Chain A
């Protein structure tokens, strides 16, 4: 059988900004650069000296029609870059990709949705952006609306939609693309559980239309459930490929080792950048910054942010995640009725956890600011994640001991035995 996608020696290099992290060049910098070192520009030395990052390095892959493939790997492993190259959003530096079918990409739910336009108008706009013909959208319009369950609000501007309606409508449009190859990036993690389930069902259905599906996900449960084959990327390279039940455990093991060795380095920032999370500091009982805590110890999460523009209706969210993405504990200001004032400029938000009751292991503190009018994770304003470790005097606990180590006590006859962690 012939492959539907053929990837040969694919590499993608990013040049990192060399001027103090400034993302945009300004004319002045380019001009003054030319003044100071005219020869450097001629000889291209100026560019070559900037640090480089190979987001993808020498990837070779053949994807057959009918395959559902999961792409996994830690943050920055190149998963999203791979999808972006295949969907032609960004150009490779070396190598080539041959596409033998129409590509539909679902790198984001609701790409191009405009809040002022009505649901009906957005279906057409979004459909056109995703590559559907007008006639095709008209034909599928009723199905899309039925799937999204927004019939009554079709002529309402979507800025008045609830976040659930918004995501449902956005997903509905994308789900009705019928490409030969479907690329999906983290869509599985959007919305609540019920919606995620619906998405998974739809993706399974889409297999009948779609001749191959590539899914990037951190959700290993979903990956195991829907992908027969999994590709593991590590630092831009294809580290392993094989069946989901072989590769997923390997990845989980790798993630744990990673967290162990790269505790300090593992910090990442993302979001729309309206609110920049400058730092997330974890402070222990003694009041000092730490990356290792004991079970039962208190933790203060100190978040320094800077709102680059005035931001209203902001919700602060924090979660303790396992390296596999599972959320052990999550909380938000909205959940507990804490109202943040409009944010402007720099500021600090603190979260105090009086007792850390998760089992020993490696965890990630995920701090996210989002707009309460939009679905969490679809449009977050700013986010930072930082890893930490929970230690205990107990021997290492495997997954049969669950997630939490609650305060408890065994009573055997008349002898009371306290749990060692809370003695």
Chain B
């Protein structure tokens, strides 16, 4: 534009400092109580190829995480006529349908447990998991206005979507308690493992949701592929059938699905009718952690471009 040649105007940097000096003299009344620290609080620079996970940042923004979970839960229950009842309706009716088709008509084994409770104990973690990854994967797009306007660790968004699902999970538990009372199934010591299993399941859902949400932002195909993948994943997990139904030589393939150990673990923990399959559970835990770490790094790597592609 040829502006720099204009004599009246102080061009570029040196002039800026000169100008600053005059301004300070011109307005001596300005009270600046702020003591500029010696070291910068934040340095903004392009990230190198290897990114740090920066989990401390996540801790700083834990209140935002709490508010986003709270928002998701509130909005969902406000917008629906049946509200919290949906948390129960979905697994309950799926259980009834499964009981009719798979339990009665197809006569799938349920390892001596009444089929309804067998199915429900698997559907409980599954419903949470599938909702968490489908809500989680669309969460970044849903909050794209936030991404382009305010800074915070972007991971908070998919994590909040998963966290909000935990509330439904707890509500859906009520039905399980009712079913257990109805069928007279008491608690065993196995129940002590339940918190560990819930944690594993949440970590797995978080890992998948984070990964999918970042991919979804870049490749909108994910939105179409995911429902299909979720359906496949359900049949590949021992939800309507027990893992024992799978022929011995295919057991290893089932064990590679991290949900196998977790869902079988849920049944063993809640219904107490058999011992834990520690080997499968360990494999599931290891795969869960690998997925979580991988997707956290992938997310971090893609994160810097979010505001530009959304």
Contact = CB atoms under 8 A, between A and B. Distances in A.
A240 B6 contact: yes
B23 A228 contact: yes
A112 B219 contact: no
A91 B143 CA distance: 19
Interface residues of A, number: 77
Contact of B24 (A64, A180, A247): A64
A239 B11 contact: yes
A44 to B, nearest CB: 13
Contact of A246 (B8, B16, B66): B8
Given A180-B34, A239-B3, A128 B75 contact: no
B201 to A, nearest CB: 27
B215 to A, nearest CB: 9
B20 A91 contact: no
Nearest to B43: A98
Given A2-B36, A96-B43, A128-B67, A87 B150 contact: yes
A26 B221 CA distance: 6
Given A30-B219, A93-B46, A105-B149, A65 B9 contact: no
A14 interface: yes
A108 B19 contact: no
Nearest to B65: A128
A64 B16 CA distance: 11
B54 interface: no
Contacts of B40: 6, 98-100
B219 A111 contact: no
Interface residues of B, number: 64
A64 B9 contact: no
Nearest to B27: A228
Contact of A134 (B16, B63, B78): B63
Contacts of A254: 1, 3
Interface in B108-145: 143, 145
Interface stretch (A116-124, A342-350, A384-392, A399-407): A116-124
Interface string B141-173: 001011111111000000000000000000000
Nearest to A105: B150
A66 B41 contact: no
A129 interface: yes
Contacts of B42: 88, 98-99, 103
A66 B41 CA distance: 18
B25 to A, nearest CB: 11
Given A129-B64, A240-B10, A101 B150 contact: no
B49 interface: no
Contact of B34 (A4, A61, A88, A238): A4
A144 B15 CA distance: 40
A100 B304 contact: no
B229 interface: no
Contact of B145 (A99, A111, A124): A111
A160 B4 CA distance: 51
Contact of A86 (B8, B44, B147): B44
A134 B70 CA distance: 13
Contacts of B15: 241-242
A366 to B, nearest CB: 22
A250 interface: yes
Interface string B75-105: 1001100000000000000000000000000
A102 B60 CA distance: 14
Contacts of A18: none
B303 to A, nearest CB: 9
Nearest to B78: A116
Contact of B75 (A6, A85, A116): A116
A4 B26 CA distance: 20
Contact of A105 (B27, B79, B151): B151
A247 to B, nearest CB: 7
B231 interface: no
Interface stretch (A191-199, A229-237, A299-307): A229-237
Given A90-B308, A240-B3, A254-B1, A112 B146 contact: yes
A65 B34 contact: yes
Contacts of B24: 1, 64
Nearest to A210: B34
B306 to A, nearest CB: 8
A62 B218 CA distance: 35
A211 B31 CA distance: 9
A88 B36 CA distance: 20
A24 B220 contact: yes
A38 interface: no
A134 B12 CA distance: 42
B45 interface: yes
B223 to A, nearest CB: 11
A242 B9 CA distance: 7
B146 A129 contact: yes
17 contacts: A26-B219, A26-B220, A60-B13, A67-B20, A90-B308, A91-B46, A98-B44, A99-B42, A108-B149, A117-B78, A121-B71, A129-B67, A134-B63, A229-B19, A229-B20, A231-B16, A241-B16
Given A90-B308, A250-B8, 8 more contacts: A1-B24, A61-B13, A88-B42, A89-B147, A124-B67, A129-B150, A241-B11, A250-B3
